[in-house]
Amino acid sequence: MFELTPLLLLGIPIAISDIKNHRIPNRQLMALWVVEEIFQRDRGWHALFSTNITALLIFITCLILYLATGSAIGMGDIKLFAVLVLPLGNLSRSITALTCATIVALIYAVVARKRVIPFGPALLIGTISVILLG
């Protein structure tokens, strides 16, 4: 549960920015990344290394999808998801969080009747859900 602290303190302003401006500021992302790295170092260097490799692989995969699909998802969302891998710890939990985020985003899009929605808040909700439930 302790890993929720940076997500709540730094993630909520990121989500609010995405809702208001459809932008995720790099400064806020960098602050979240640095704080997550500090929080994760207690897990040991091996876990920290493997989590960062997973984050890098997810970033590269999402970047390829971004380039291939014509930017259906924003670059801020891709960077945010890569940072959110750190508290999740591994690929399976990250994919579960992404699945939860997609469901939340689809529900929001249907209820709000919008085609363009902020995906950052859904990513944050998906990540927090996976941490709380498992």
DSSP SS3 for 124: helix
Q: Give the residue among 91, 11, 102 at the shortest CA–CA distance from 59.
A: 91
Residue 46 DSSP label: H
pTM (predicted TM-score):
0.90
DSSP SS3 for 92: helix
What local confidence, expressed as pLDDT, does residue 70 receive? 76
Per-residue pLDDT tens digits for 56-100: 999 999 899 888 887 778 899 999 999 999 999 888 999 999 999
- Say if residue 128's pLDDT is above 80: yes
Cβ neighbours of 37 (radius 10 Å): 15
Q: How many domains does the chain have?
A: 1
What local confidence, expressed as pLDDT, does residue 57 receive? 93
- What tokens were used for 99? 């699945």
Task: Give the list of residues 6+ apart from residue 134 with CB closer than 8 angstroms, or none.
Answer: 93, 96
Per-residue pLDDT tens digits for 13-37: 999 999 999 999 999 999 999 999 8
What local confidence, expressed as pLDDT, does residue 134 receive? 80
Per the structure, the complete domain to which residue 38 belongs is given by 4-133
Dihedral class, residue 89 (left if φ above 0, else alpha if ψ from -120 to 50, else beta)? left
Place of tokens 């909700």: 125
